[in-house]
Structure 1
């Protein structure tokens, strides 16, 4: 697995199917901090992640808590998955989710049961505040957005 000392590729994010819609909804390229992982499906070389995300404003409610708005279920649909590493328990609160294209075959080591990710694959890495974390490598990534009532 590669180091996560890199930033989200916002140009890539916006260019992916549904990526600009997600950016427009939140008003920025989200990192999904404090979002909850609602669903993870792995089947036939594809992965679906469903995340309950929101925007945290700088406004406070009467109890002194930050007001969160723009709630939505954001789905990440990955086709042609070339590698997966997951750790932890099934429930998960995301700390940070990053997306980039692999600049080289840096992920090609330690893959004993598959061909391994290669340069140009998309890397989706998510860290956790609690629960599941890991990295998924894929040939194709698209987003879906379903706004939710508060």
Structure 2
């Protein structure tokens, strides 16, 4: 799946429950590059996505590797999910995760077994370096943040 040509909507991100805490922790609107997908649960119209993330600083350590700090488990809890498209295997490293509002209704022909996502739904899309990639459409998204030791 190729990445859509858009960035995260930082205003939307900050307005979602827990979103400002995630922005404050990382110091910017994260795209979760190289984050590990730890858990994906789909049940009763909801999706829980848990990722192990970190911030990559622009400084190098003694071995000339980028210093990674601000490690955390970030959860995305999506309620009233209106569509899911997933491909790949379960073990995953995220390349890029993006969040935005859907600007127009999805074509109903893309959704044979359910109503199509509609304008205003939140779209969470993630590409992968290895493993699972996809799109999740939801009416409600909340973030959880649990700082983790290195």
Does TM, normalized by the shorter one, top 0.5? yes
Unaligned runs of 5+ in 2: none
CA-to-aligned-CA distance 1:52-91 (integer Å, 9 cap, x gap): 0000001111111111000000000000000000000001
Change over 3 Å in CA distance of 1:21–1:121 after alignment to 2: same
TM-score after normalising by structure 2:
0.96
> Offset of 1:108 from its aligned partner?
3.8
1:57-72 superposed matches below 5 A: 57-72=57-72
Alpha carbons 2:8, 2:99 under 8 Å: kept: yes
CA RMSD of aligned residues (A): 1.5
> Offset of 1:2 from its aligned partner?
10
Structure 1 outlier segments of 4+, above 6 Å: none
> Offset of 1:50 from its aligned partner?
0.2
Change over 3 Å in CA distance of 1:93–1:69 after alignment to 2: same
Alpha carbons 1:71, 1:149 under 8 Å: kept: yes
Alpha carbons 2:124, 2:137 under 8 Å: kept: yes
Larger strand proportion of the pair? 1
